[in-house]
């Protein structure tokens, strides 16, 4: 994907919706739109220069991305929101109204809490922020492209190989439609990372033989099941500990570091090997043992059961990768990428 290098407008009056998207590294969501597609036609058919934004997924990251979008220069307005958790949508809307009261126009009939609400929210906007748990990302991205909308979506873009293939197919369609698409791998746009990678690629370290990256951190707490809570609501609320929704820690969080390795090499892994081990840590002597924990604890990287006593499974994973190289390279880079489940 190419980056748009158009110069910024020289005055506020010049920043209409067309130039807004062409100078998106400063404007849209505080992140360059990685689609990098030059807009050769008017970006929108409407006469207004106000850029309408829809937020799909109203958690902390989605709320933060929307706030960044509304902080951009020019006229932007949040016009629609979608989240299957009504309480989360209300919390996000309240937060955004406090931060950007003059840029929020989301009446009750533009607040969608059903599972197909994303379709309705997307239809009302020019640019869509996709920030639900990533298990839903492929279908949301497909719909946004189908409707001809520009997209910023958080990483990761999917949680499994079929989802990735759907995203790649939708990205190809987005290129045909001349749509801008950005993904939240922000390290590619940090000045220190950009300079470091440039120096490495220019040979400052010689021929790289091993790339190794880590993500070390503490545990992320799960959530207790609420009384009479339906299973789907619970899993979405506790999405980090369900692999179909998060992809696990390596996919959901460690993707940042693995992406830097791919960036340095200019290639992607061609195969992976993994090993794992599990331990149970108890908060008190009455904590259940592994068989007594929820079924999800046995198969997820970490989980908390529904009983008052807490237990959680923790696994450390070690993934060895071989990164593809061009035919001109002497040898592929081999690297071990450990990732500790938090």
Closest CA to 64 of 33, 102, 91: 91
Q: At 48, is the pLDDT very low, low, confident or very high (cuts 50, 70, 90)?
A: low
Q: What is the pLDDT of residue 213?
A: 86
What gap in Å lies between CA 163 and CA 254, rounded to an integer?
Answer: 18
Percentage of residues in the chain having pLDDT higher than 90: 56
**pLDDT, tens digit (0-9, with 9 covering 90-100), for 135-152:** 999 999 999 999 999 999
Q: What is the pLDDT of residue 276?
A: 59
Cα pseudo-dihedral 182, 131, 31, 106, rounded to 10: 110
Q: At 109, is the pLDDT very low, low, confident or very high (cuts 50, 70, 90)?
A: very high
**pLDDT, tens digit (0-9, with 9 covering 90-100), for 250-281:** 899 999 999 999 999 998 888 777 665 544 44
pLDDT for residue 3 is more than 60? no
pLDDT for residue 8 is more than 70? no
Half-sphere exposure of 200 (CA within 13 A, CB side): 17
- 151: β partners: 128, 181
**pLDDT, tens digit (0-9, with 9 covering 90-100), for 17-32:** 444 454 443 334 333 3
Helices 191-201 and 255-265: crossing angle, nearest 10°?
40
Q: Which residues are CB-neighbours of 156 under 8 A, at least 6 positions away?
A: 134, 137, 247, 251, 252, 255
Closest CA to 174 of 30, 34, 4: 34
Q: At 43, is the pLDDT very low, low, confident or very high (cuts 50, 70, 90)?
A: very low
Report helix, strand and coil shares of the chain as percent, to nearest 5.
Answer: 40, 20, 40
What gap in Å lies between CA 161 and CA 272, rounded to an integer?
Answer: 14
Q: How many other CB atoms sit within 10 Å of the CB of residue 143?
A: 20
Q: Is 339 helix (H, G, I), strand (E, B) or coil?
A: strand
pLDDT for residue 1 is more than 70? no
Positive or negative, the Cα torsion across 201, 206, 212, 216?
negative
pLDDT for residue 128 is more than 50? yes
Q: What are 52's two structure tokens? A: 């309408």
pLDDT for residue 159 is more than 70? yes
Mean pLDDT (the chain) is 75
Confirm whether pTM is higher than 0.75.
no
Taking residues 64-75, report their average pLDDT: 93
CB 197 within 8 A of CB 213: no
pLDDT for residue 342 is more than 70? no
pLDDT for residue 238 is more than 60? yes
Helix boundaries (H) for the chain:
17-22, 24-27, 60-71, 86-99, 117-123, 137-146, 161-176, 191-201, 231-237, 243-246, 249-252, 255-265, 295-299
Least confident stretch, 218-222, 268-272, 324-328: 324-328
* Domains of the chain with bracketed CATH: 12-184 (3.40.50.720), 207-340 (no CATH)
């Amino acid at each position: 994907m190419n980056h748009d290098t158009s110069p910024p407008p020289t005055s506020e009056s010049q920043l209409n919706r067309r130039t807004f998207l062409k100078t998106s590294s400063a404007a849209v969501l505080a992140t360059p739109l990685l689609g990098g597609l030059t807009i050769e036609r008017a970006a929108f058919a409407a006469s207004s220069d106000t850029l309408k934004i829809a937020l799909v997924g109203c958690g902390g990251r989605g709320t933060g991305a929307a706030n960044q979008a509304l902080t951009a220069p020019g006229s932007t307005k949040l016009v629609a929101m979608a989240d299957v958790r009504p309480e989360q949508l209300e919390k996000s809307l309240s937060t955004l109204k406090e931060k950007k009261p003059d840029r929020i126009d989301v009446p009750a009939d533009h607040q969608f809490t059903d599972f197909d609400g994303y379709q309705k929210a997307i239809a009302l906007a020019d640019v869509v922020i996709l920030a639900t748990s990533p298990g839903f990302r492929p279908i949301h991205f497909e719909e946004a492209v189908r409707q001809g909308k520009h997209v910023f979506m958080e990483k990761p873009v999917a949680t499994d190989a079929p989802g990735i293939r759907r995203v790649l197919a939708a990205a190809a369609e987005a290129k045909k439609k001349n749509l801008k698409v950005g993904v939240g791998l922000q390290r590619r746009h940090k000045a220190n990372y950009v300079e470091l990678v440039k120096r490495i690629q220019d040979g400052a370290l010689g021929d790289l033989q091993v790339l190794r990256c880590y993500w070390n951190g503490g545990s992320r707490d799960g959530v207790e099941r609420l009384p009479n809570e339906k299973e789907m609501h619970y899993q979405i609320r506790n999405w980090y500990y369900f692999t179909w929704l998060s992809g696990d820690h390596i996919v959901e969080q460690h993707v940042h570091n693995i992406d830097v390795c791919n960036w340095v090499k200019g290639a992607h892994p061609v195969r992976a090997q993994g090993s794992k081990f599990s331990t149970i840590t108890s908060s008190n002597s009455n904590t259940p043992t592994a068989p007594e924990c929820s079924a999800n604890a046995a198969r997820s990287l970490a989980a908390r059961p529904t009983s008052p006593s807490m237990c959680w499974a923790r696994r450390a994973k070690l993934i060895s990768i071989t990164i593809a190289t061009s035919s001109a390279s002497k040898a592929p880079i081999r690297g071990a990428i450990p990732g500790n489940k938090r």
